Amino acid sequence: MTAPFLSRRGLVLGGATLGGLLLAGCDRLSQAPAAVKFLDHDEELTMGAQRLLLAGQPLAREFKASDISRVFKPNGSTDPQSPAYLAMVRNNFAGWALTVTGLVQRPLSLNLAQLRAMPARTQITRHDCVEGWSAIAGWTGPRLGDLLHASGLRPNARYIVFRCADDLGGGSLYYESIDLFDAFHPQTILAHSMNGQRLAVAHGAPIRLRVERQLGYKQAKYVMGVEVTDNLAHIGGGRGGFWEDRGYEWYAGI
C-alpha cells in the first residue's frame, strides 16, 4: 500500500498554518524600520509620476453650489484652546496678522481686512480626508501665489511652510508644507470664507490653506504664518508636517 506523500487534508492544514505564519511574518516585516524606509521610495515614485502627469497644472474639479455638503465634517482640531488663540477669537481676529517670512525679499504682515481686500478666487471643491470620506464646500480667498509674488521669493526658496495655531492635543503645533509646484497653482488659496461666510473656528478661522489635488491633512487650518524655506529637515520632526511626522506621506495626491 503506497500512501500519498501528502494527503489533501494535510495540505489544507499545512497551507493554513503556513498562511498564518506568513501573515504574522508579514505583519512584523511590514513594520520593520528597513521596510518603512523602503516605502519612502514608493512615495517618491508616486509623486514623480503624478508631477510628470500634472505638469500642465490642470485644475481640480469645481462643483455646483447644489453639490455643497449640507454639513461639512469639521475634522482634526475643531476648537483650539491655547490662550493666545482664544484671545484672537474674542477679538474677532482684529489684532491678528498673517506673516510671510523666510526666504523672501520683503517679509509681509497682513491683517484680515487687508487679506479680504485682495483679489480673491472662489472655488467649490471636494475635500478628501485620508480616512476615505469626502465633503464639498465653496472656498474664497487670495491666491497664495499672489502673496508670494508680493513678497518676492529668493532664488533658493523651495518649500512653503504653514505655521498653525492648533496643537491637536499633542503639545506640538500643527504645521504643513507644500512645494512651489503646488504653491503657485491657481487653485491654491488662503481661504478666509467658506460657503460665502467668514470661516468658522471649526474650519480653521481666520484662514486655512486650500491646496486642491491633495488630501485633507494638507489643508492646514488656523494658519498664522507662511514661511518660505529651502529645506524641511529643521522643522518639527523634519518630514514636512504634523501628520507626515507621524508616518503619513508628504505628497498626499493619492
Give the HSE-up count for residue 68: Cα atoms under 13 Å, Cβ half-sphere. 13
Which burial class, exposed, middle or buried, applies to 118 when counting CB atoms under 10 A from its CB (0-12, 13-18, 19+)?
middle
The enclosing H or E element of 35 equals helix 33-53
Cα 210 to Cα 140: distance, rounded to the nearest angstrom: 9
Candidate list 130, 168, 173, 180; residue touching other proteins; CB under 8 A: 130
CB count within 10 Å of CB 186 equals 13
Candidate list 135, 173, 180, 202; residue touching other proteins; CB under 8 A: 135
Cα 149 to Cα 223: distance, rounded to the nearest angstrom: 19
Interface with other proteins, residue 18, by CB under 8 A: no
Candidate list 133, 149, 233, 238; residue touching other proteins; CB under 8 A: 133
**Shortest distance (Å) from residue 186 CB to other proteins:** 12
Candidate list 10, 17, 65, 69; residue touching other proteins; CB under 8 A: 69
Interface with other proteins, residue 2, by CB under 8 A: yes
Candidate list 16, 18, 53, 117; residue touching other proteins; CB under 8 A: 53
**Closest by Cα among 144, 151, 133, 243 to 190:** 144
Cα 107 to Cα 112: distance, rounded to the nearest angstrom: 17
Among residue numbers 108 through 127, which ones bind other proteins (CB under 8 A)? 126
C-beta closer to other proteins: residue 91 or 133: 133
Interface with other proteins, residue 180, by CB under 8 A: no
Q: Are 159 and 179 in contact (CB under 8 A)?
A: yes
Q: Name the one range near other proteins by CB under 8 A: 48-56, 98-106, 107-115, 161-169.
A: 48-56
Chain center to CA of 79: 18
143 bridge partner residues: 189
Interface with other proteins, residue 54, by CB under 8 A: yes
**Shortest distance (Å) from residue 42 CB to other proteins:** 4
**Shortest distance (Å) from residue 156 CB to other proteins:** 27
The residue ranges that bind other proteins (CB under 8 A) are 1-2, 4, 8, 11, 23, 26-27, 30-31, 36, 39, 42-43, 45-46, 50, 53-54, 58-61, 63, 67, 69-73, 126, 128-136, 212-215, 243, 246-249, 253-254
